[in-house]
Amino acid sequence: MKSPILMLICVFAWSGLLAQDPTEEVTAVEEACFDYIHAFYKADTTLAYRSVHKSLRKTGFYWNKEKEMYSEQLEMPFGDLISLAKRWNADGSMADEKTPKGVEVFEVSDKTAVAKVNAIWGIDYISLMKLEGKWMIVNVLWQSPPSSSIRNP
């Protein structure tokens, strides 16, 4: 008689341990995205290593002011991201504590999440995956700051 009751208690306790706290998950996704921003703002590649997966696929478009047009599609694999993060703001001239930055989390599921990053360089749409309990950025689609939005909900 005690055995089935004990078994049920263990099952409920175990399932409670496995349940995700939605607030903690959203916060963890935000932290990964802010790590990504601060990797550049602070020229701190340790932040990129802890928040960006090595299989990163980053692609986007840079606004060329002289030509008054966007670049062709640009690619940035993980190694290039690390290299850029090391030097982009190494002297502190590109960003400081007052430089705009923001993260908007659109959705968090068990293993996947989607967010939007606003930074000095523009807009990044971020896809993340949860590996070994940690949220990692795997895809980034970006563009320089837009002159206007066709649709901005």
Examine residue 11 and state whether it is found in any structural domain, yes or no: no
Given this model, what pLDDT does residue 2 score? 55
Examine residue 134 and state whether it is found in any structural domain, yes or no: yes
Left if phi > 0, otherwise alpha if psi is -120 to 50, otherwise beta: which for 77? beta
Work out the pLDDT band at 153, boundaries 50, 70, 90: low
Given this model, what pLDDT does residue 22 score? 80
Mean pLDDT of the chain: 89
Examine residue 9 and state whether it is found in any structural domain, yes or no: no
Q: Which has more confidence, 81 or 65?
A: 81
Examine residue 87 and state whether it is found in any structural domain, yes or no: yes
Residue 78 sits in a domain whose CATH number is 3.10.450.50
Q: Backbone phi, then psi, for 43, in 5-degree steps?
A: 50, 45
Examine residue 148 and state whether it is found in any structural domain, yes or no: no
Tell whether the model's pLDDT for residue 17 goes beyond 90.
Answer: no
Tell whether the model's pLDDT for residue 150 goes beyond 90.
Answer: no
Examine residue 93 and state whether it is found in any structural domain, yes or no: yes
Examine residue 70 and state whether it is found in any structural domain, yes or no: yes
Work out the pLDDT band at 147, boundaries 50, 70, 90: confident
Which residue type sits at 37?
I
Examine residue 153 and state whether it is found in any structural domain, yes or no: no
> What is the tally of structural domains in the chain?
1
Left if phi > 0, otherwise alpha if psi is -120 to 50, otherwise beta: which for 139? beta
Could you list the residue range(s) of the whole structural domain that residue 92 is in? 20-143
**67-92 tens-digit pLDDT:** 999 999 999 999 999 999 999 999 99
Tell whether the model's pLDDT for residue 151 goes beyond 80.
Answer: no
Given this model, what pLDDT does residue 5 score? 60
What is the torsion angle, in degrees rounded to the nearest 10, for the CA atoms of residue 114, residue 45, residue 85 and residue 25? 10
3-state secondary structure of 115: strand
Q: Which has more confidence, 144 or 11?
A: 144
